[in-house]
């Protein structure tokens, strides 16, 4: 998030500079840029901002930057609305063609309002056309910027092998779940205790296929709202609401079926550790920590028994 924060700050300053120069606010440019920079630095340092606000709110600060400049002149209120709508739409649209048509549509409305409520000279009309061109390029940039950022964010939260969330992505999604205030929620760690046997007997490629198969089975058979992630190696973490007993039975059925069918005569041994909200923890980080601690205790007991 650090690099992204500085990118937003620099883009805000550039946006402010261009708009200030175009609108003839050269004398107020310096304090305006300082204000914009401080505003963005402050908001990105708020802890809640990093966890609970979506990318659309980040783009809203770009709109606010433009709005702050334009509000220095009350007559620019229409421009603020126009810029805000188009930039917001640019962050939501997934098609370049739709973006072009949408921008063109709002540009025509903008030009119509200008002609209807003001006595436009030829020079004013040229300035309006220039505004339309500028906002199109800004919205186009916003479209590509958000698209690239979301792709990179998605990749950084995804496990390369199984396509499930990695643990970072799991934690990120868990905060979204907590926003909806679940009444009962469970974190479940699944670990295969002798997974190395597959790699030793059949090779690492076969082991990778086993992990992919397990990920697909969990994805297909558990409820759609279930959070699935690969924690590390042969360990998976699940976040799910509902009755823990029913979920536990479903998971055991999947694990038994896949370990028998994929490992011939000797099925894989596995362990399951759980933690439940609100009985064991009320915050998502603490709930994960409790489940993680239970998982480590089970693993330590297994290792101790092997030594004995």
| pLDDT, averaged across the chain | 70
For residue 18, the SS3 value is helix
Q: Which residue has the higher pLDDT, 202 or 43?
A: 202
CA trace torsion 59, 63, 68, 70 (10° rounding):
160
Place 122 in a pLDDT band, splitting at 50, 70 and 90.
low
Sorted by where each begins, the domain ranges of the chain are 2-156, 165-307
pLDDT at 51: 37
Quick one: which of 167, 303, 169 has its CA closest to 237? 167
For 80-110, write each residue's pLDDT tens digit. Answer: 555 555 555 555 556 666 666 666 666 666 6
C-alpha of 21 from chain center: 35
Q: Which residue has the higher pLDDT, 173 or 204?
A: 173
For residue 101, the SS3 value is helix
- 75 Cβ contact list (under 8 Å, min separation 6): none
**What number of H helices and E strands is found in the chain?**
12, 5
- DSSP string for 197-234: HHHHHH-HHHHHHHHHHHHHHHHHHS-TT-EEEEEETT
Residues facing 83 on adjacent strands: none
- May I ask the CATH architecture of the domain 165-307? 2-Layer Sandwich (3.30)
Place 157 in a pLDDT band, splitting at 50, 70 and 90.
confident
Q: Which residue has the higher pLDDT, 22 or 180?
A: 180
For residue 236, how many other CB atoms are within 10 A of its CB?
26
φ, ψ dihedrals at 273, nearest 5° = -120, 140
Q: Which residue has the higher pLDDT, 96 or 13?
A: 96
Contact (CB, 8 A) for 285 and 275: no
């Amino acid at each position: 998030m650090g690099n992204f924060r500085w990118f937003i700050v620099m883009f805000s300053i550039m946006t402010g500079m261009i708009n200030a120069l175009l609108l003839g606010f050269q004398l107020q440019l310096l304090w305006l840029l300082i204000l914009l920079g401080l505003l963005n630095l402050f908001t990105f340092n708020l802890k809640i901002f990093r966890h609970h606000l979506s990318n659309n709110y980040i783009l809203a600060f770009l709109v606010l930057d433009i709005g702050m400049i334009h509000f220095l002149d009350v007559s620019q209120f229409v421009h603020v609305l126009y810029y805000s709508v188009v930039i917001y739409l640019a962050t939501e649209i997934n098609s370049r063609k739709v973006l072009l048509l949408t921008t063109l549509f709002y540009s025509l409305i903008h030009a119509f309002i200008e002609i209807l409520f003001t006595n436009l000279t030829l020079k004013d009309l040229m300035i309006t056309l220039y505004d339309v061109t500028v906002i199109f390029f800004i919205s186009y940039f916003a479209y590509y910027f958000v698209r690239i950022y979301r792709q990179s964010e998605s990749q950084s939260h995804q496990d390369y092998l199984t396509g499930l969330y990695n643990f970072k992505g799991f934690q990120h999604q868990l905060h979204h779940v907590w926003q909806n205030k679940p009444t009962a929620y469970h974190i479940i760690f699944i670990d295969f205790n002798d997974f190395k046997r597959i790699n030793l007997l059949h090779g690492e490629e076969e082991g990778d296929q086993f992990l992919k198969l397990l990920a697909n089975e969990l994805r297909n058979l558990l409820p759609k709202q279930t959070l699935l992630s690969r924690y590390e190696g042969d360990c998976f973490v699940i976040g799910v609401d509902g009755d823990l007993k029913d979920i536990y039975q479903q998971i055991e059925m999947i694990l038994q079926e896949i370990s028998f069918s994929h490992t011939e005569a000797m099925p894989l041994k596995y362990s399951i550790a759980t933690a439940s909200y609100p009985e064991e923890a009320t915050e998502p980080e603490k709930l994960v920590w409790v489940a993680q601690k239970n998982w480590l205790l089970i693993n330590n007991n297994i290792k101790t028994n092997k030594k004995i």
